[in-house]
Structures are given as C-alpha cells and as structure tokens.
Amino acid sequence: MGTIDLDFDRKHIWHPYTSMRDPLPVYPVKSASGVYIELEDGKRLIDGMSSWWAAIHGYNHPVLNKAIEQQAGMMSHVMFGGLTHEPAVALAKKLIELTPEPLQKVFFSDSGSVSVEVGIKMALQYQQAAGHSEKHRLLTLRSGYHGDTFTAMSVCDPVTGMHNLFSGVLPQQVFAEAPRCRFHETCSDGCIEDFRRKLETHHRELAAVILEPVVQGAGGMRCYSPDHLGKVRELCDRYGVLLIFDEIATGFGRTGRMFALEHANAAPDILCVGKALTGGYVSLAATLTTEQVAGVISEGEPGVFMHGPTFMANPLACSVASASIGLLTSSDWRKKVLNIEKGLSLGLEPCRSFRGVADVRVLGAIGVVELENPVDMAAIQKSFVEKGVWVRPFGKLVYLMPPYIISGQELTALSNAVCAAVGELSPGNG
C-alpha cells in the first residue's frame, strides 16, 4: 500500500460535515485491529467512537472476517427483487427472535437514514391504505436526530439540529418538548404534558410518532426516563397513531439492553436498526414492522410497499450481520457493557468539577461530557490524536462510545484523555 495522497484528498474528497474551502485536517489510516486505529505514521489510537458507534466488536475480528470472506466466495451480491438467499433469511430470523414479538416483518435497506425513510413511508402508506389520507405528518421530540436524508431531516431538531438550513423546504412536522426526566427518574405528568397536548391537538393529521428510545443520539446525547416510553405507547394507542422507534444508535447492547426499548418493555409498530448491525463492517439497516401494518399496506392500493433499494439484503452484509449478532449473543456482552459503564462513570467524573462543563452523563457504553460552549474541532481533534486516542466531538459534546471489547486499561486511557482535553479548554482547571 502506498502513501496516502493527502493533498489530493484535501482538494477533491468531500468529507462529512466539512467545508471544501477550508477543510478540517484528516488523519491517514493504515490499518485497524481490535480497539486500535493505526495511522500511516505508525501512531496507534484507542478508538473511542466505534467508528460512529458501529464497530462494537472492534476491528479486524477473525469471526467477522471469515463470514464475509466465505460469502464473497459464493455470491457477493444478487438483486432482491424476485430472488432470495440464505444470508437474508438467516438474518431476518435472528432479528425477529431478538425484537419484541409483534415485530414479524423485516425490510432490509442500505443505511440508517434510509431505514428511517422506509419506516416513515410504511406509516404513511399504512394510513393511506387504511383510508386516512389526511394522516400525513409526524410527531417527534425536540433534540432528536434521525438521519441526513430528506424526510429523516424533517424530524431532526428544527432549531439546534444540523439541518435547520433546509427548514424552508422540508416537510413540516410537529415537535414536542424533549423529555426533562433523566434516566433513573419517573416521568411525571408534567414531563409528558406537552407531548400529550400535541398528540391530542394533531392526531387527526398524524401518521406516526417517531423517537429514539431512552437515548437521543446526535441531536444532543441526552438520556431520559424509560417511563416516558411507556406513556408514549399508551398515548399512541389512545389516539390511533403508529409508533416508530429509531434504535439505529442504541441497538445491539449499547445502553445495557439488547435494544433500548427493553428498559421500558415497550414495543413499537415500526422499528429501525442499523449501525452496529454488521459490527461496523459494511453498511446495512433494517426496518421491522407488525402483521397489522404489513397487512393493511398489502391490502390497500397498490397492494405493495413502494420501496426497493438496489443493494437491499446484500449477501455480504447479511452474512457479516448474522455473524456479528452471533458473536454478541454468545458472549457475556451485558457484563462487558456494565464494566464499560462503571469505567466511564469513574473515569469521566473529574470533568464535573471543571469550569465550562455543563453536565456529565453515562449510560451503558455511552459516556458524555457536555460543555457550555462548542469545541474548536480541529484543535481538540489534534489534542486527542496527540494523546493517543480517537475521539470525534460535535458541537458542545465530547462523548465516548467505545467497542465492547475494550480493556479496563484502555478505557482508563481513553477517559483520562477526555478529562485532560476538556481540562485544557478552560485555563485554571486542574
């Protein structure tokens, strides 16, 4: 492998959320193994991000390598229209076994954002088929994030979200206050009141409610009471509105349960999963729904669900996803996540006393330091690399979502680097 041409990269390759006029620095990666990313210059970084929360087993895992290599030797891809294959069937069986009993139908897609588009389209087509064409809007929570594609953007936070510049052309959705109740608290009537009122006022035009259960991800990394989910489920049933759970960031053990919805024992009508589904190897997502939703759509006009991605149910992706789920369920992943939770709680605690820190919160394998002001991304990224870790903050949030295989020593090094970097942001912190 030759040296990466960083000058070409800077001039011609558009990285996510960056300017082509004044791009942020990028760090050339040579390889990755376990919890380490090795840069071209030989520097090894402990990965605190699981490559945007997906690489839960770390990198270059022999079980996952074998799964994708064996599948490539048989069939790398075949269209899913009119054809099927064992990797897709095997993965669908696993997903149905892992998720709540009402979810019996699986639709595969390419990415998390697309799985949200699929879930929303299911809800809209369901209402149309049920004779409720007036039900065409969505109710969601402020501080949420559901992806970068168009309808997904419309249910991201309209003020603090990344997509407010598109607000004039996006579908206009209904937003309720973000839950104020923290994870270990009870959701009071006052906390759910704005949501209840919005649902009562708008239910005749609402196709569905969509939210991230227990943890709001890129919209603010906020953890809230599972009790809130139970109340939302009751209200959706009362007003005849479908409920969509976006578990793309929280699925597959990240919060200490296989899915975050298990904290509340609440089942949605539609469930979106992605990210960690394949252990971070290739892009794949799925949208699960109930017999009821699928039946109504299939009996209405035109009698089919109107979506079909080119690479839907890609055999390579399905094979490595099944292997990743098998690797997870056969391990003591709950203990691993609990140990990460304990390590992050202890390791990030010093940040609470720092000036400029608004909050520190930990749930499962998620650790968040919320600052009072946005970070200088280029400067803090350089600081983290110098400290031997890979952490990618956004806005006011410095957060960790490490691979589950991280050792106690590596987790301590990661937490220490965060505390040191955050401490450097405000003179006098010590």
Please give the structure tokens belonging to residue 401. Answer: 């979502």
Contact between 249 and 186 (Cβ < 8 Å): no
In whole angstroms, what is the distance from residue 128 CA to residue 118 CA?
Answer: 15
Rg of the chain in Å (alpha carbons): 22
What is the pairing mode between strands 137-141 and 285-290? unpaired
Angle between helices 377-386 and 408-424 (to 10 degrees): 140
Q: Exposed, middle or buried, 77 (CB in 10 Å: 0-12/13-18/19+)?
A: middle
Per residue in 308-352, pLDDT tens? 999 999 999 999 999 999 999 999 999 999 999 999 999 999 999
Say what the pLDDT of residue 186 is: 94
pLDDT score for 167: 80
CA distance 150 to 152: 5
Bridge partner residues of 360 (DSSP):
369
Query: Is 145 noted as a catalytic residue in this protein?
Result: yes
- Please report the pLDDT score of residue 1 as a whole number: 59
Whole-angstrom distance, CA of residue 338 vs CA of residue 257: 10
Q: What's the pLDDT tens digit per position in 264-318?
A: 989 999 999 999 999 999 999 999 999 999 999 999 999 999 999 999 999 999 9
- Per the CB < 8 A criterion, the answer to whether 282 and 270 are in contact is no
Q: Check if 275 is active-site.
A: yes
Q: How do the pLDDT tens digits run along the chain, 430 residues long?
A: 578 999 999 999 999 999 999 999 999 999 999 999 999 999 999 999 999 999 999 999 999 999 999 999 999 999 999 999 999 999 999 999 999 999 999 999 999 999 999 999 999 999 999 999 999 999 999 999 999 999 999 999 988 777 778 888 999 999 999 999 999 999 999 999 999 999 999 999 999 999 999 999 998 999 999 999 999 999 999 999 999 999 999 999 999 999 999 999 899 999 999 999 999 999 999 999 999 999 999 999 999 999 999 999 999 999 999 999 999 999 999 999 999 999 999 999 999 999 999 999 999 999 999 999 999 999 999 999 999 999 999 999 999 999 999 999 999 999 999 999 999 987 667 6
Please give the model's pTM, rounded to 2 decimal places.
Answer: 0.97
Identity of the amino acid at 277:
L
Strands 44-47 and 36-39: antiparallel
Instruction: Report the pLDDT value the prediction gives residue 357, as an integer from 0 to 100.
Output: 97
Domains with residue ranges and CATH for the chain: 6-60+332-424 (3.90.1150.10), 65-329 (3.40.640.10)
User: Residues 94, 121, 275, 336: which is the catalytic one?
Assistant: 275
CB neighbour class for 190 (10 Å; exposed up to 12, middle 13-18, buried from 19): exposed
Residue among 5, 11, 17, 342 flagged as catalytic: 17
Q: What is the C-alpha separation between 282 and 111, in angstroms, rounded?
A: 10
Which listed residue (36, 59, 126, 145) is catalytic? 145
Considering the candidates 47, 110, 227, 246, report the single residue annotated as catalytic. Answer: 246
* CA distance readout (Å), 41 to 25, 27, 28, 31, 233: 15, 10, 8, 11, 52
Handedness of CA 303, 309, 310, 311 (dihedral sign): negative
Cα torsion 109, 111, 117, 122 to 10°: value is 30
Which residue matches tokens 């520097």?
43
